[in-house]
Amino acid sequence: MSLDLDKRHRAMLREMGVRVWLPQAAPAAEAVMDVAAARAGAAASPAAALPEATPAAAPVAREAPPPLRTPPPRAPLAAPPVEAREAAAPNISGAWSMGAAQALYAEAAHDQGARWLVLAETPAAALQREPFSPFEGDAGKLLDNMLRAARLHKAGVVLLAPLVRGAAAGVGAALPEALPALMASAQPDVVLVMGRLAAQALLQSSEPFGKLRGQVHALHGAQAVVTYDATYLLRNPSDKAKAWDDLCLAMSRVATPV
């Protein structure tokens, strides 16, 4: 059965994606004649029907694969600096020591005055000197001026305990044990924490120091205010006004004699 398609039909089928195969008479007849001639030649000469031997192809030499290379060992990642670890997750366990608390302005103590506890961040070298004096040097003079400006020399009791960060063995007592005992014996009305790192460690907070300032915190049942330490203020005198604001906040929590 054959299809009788004109040019228009074929064009339509091409547009539809249908391929039409038409028989070609002449090539088919020629192919039949070629087959018949081949058979006659094979009958006349059987050897002619045998194909010629094709020489075997020489094996192709393949290159050996390169040996596997073992990657060099990776160097272990360096641990972050101690300052970065402590700033991210401050912890007072074993990182801080506290020196013996001493009374300030005892000769001018007011009977009805408030009870203050000053926790001051102090260099380890200063605590190693005997006897330790919080008012020694330029930082000590500035500390005295700050406390007197806040009228602490007119308060009932003022205790100062130096805090040392990363102190060597034998310098002060471990802060986690010493602080609760001091708070229980001193029973302060307000605690003044001086020093950025000391404040973050005592409050167990990784908040920036600017967010810790300007508010009242709870520390072992007492109200606490944080501010800059005197050593920092010597290097950054422009922050003295902020320190005065912190002292005013602390004074507002207690009744200070005139």
Q: pTM of whole model > 0.75?
A: no
Is residue 56 domain-resident? no
Is residue 240 domain-resident? yes
Tens-place pLDDT, residues 145-177: 999 999 999 999 999 999 998 765 567 788 989
Tens-place pLDDT, residues 75-117: 544 544 434 444 444 455 458 999 999 999 988 877 788 999 9
Domain count, the chain: 1
Is residue 219 domain-resident? yes
* pLDDT computed for residue 75 by the predictor: 52
Is residue 15 domain-resident? no
Is residue 51 domain-resident? no
Is residue 78 domain-resident? no
Res 42 pLDDT > 60: no
Is residue 39 domain-resident? no
Structural domain harbouring 125: 92-251
* pLDDT computed for residue 79 by the predictor: 47
- Domain of 227, CATH number, reads 3.40.470.10
CA distances (Å), 74 to each of 67, 71, 77, 78, 80, in order? 21, 9, 9, 12, 18
Is residue 212 domain-resident? yes
Tens-place pLDDT, residues 3-39: 566 676 566 656 565 565 555 544 444 444 454 555 5
Residue type, 221: G
